[in-house]
Structure 1
């Protein structure tokens, strides 16, 4: 298989992880683990799954940070709320990474 062929698979894995982690966010740890496993299998490899798991977590964390800062009336309080959202997204990334590693190893 060509080296550039995994690039589309990594994008599919990243988008699946992002969508499934948002849709299954009501299940605290198990939802992001399932999203990581599915996205890791789509990314088809350990390295691609690892990178694909980091990007949705960064995107969600940055969006939570900026939206909390944007919608708060006071900038300082919005900044503090945004940092809390960033910390919550960071905790979700741990389960997403574990699931992505499992899915990437299952796909290999």
Structure 2
């Protein structure tokens, strides 16, 4: 199994397409504004909804699930890039997050 390309949160280009693969409750609590959400377990059923010609920056909480998803998507012909450190690194870099539950956003 080959390694997948990995970038820091600061290497994601402005307006880059971000795919969040955390569970529903994690995404609802706090996520990158504008991120698309597909939980890791649902990627094989929903990946055809994604654009294979668009660079996909895959994020989770710490980088493990996103690496799995990016590797799988790459095998399907996508340009999928793992975001090192995940949402935790996003917060540490001072980048904004939003929630879907009406509460202050948090990363779970």
In terms of fraction of residues, the more strand-rich structure is: 2
| TM over 0.5, shorter chain | no
Higher helix share: 1
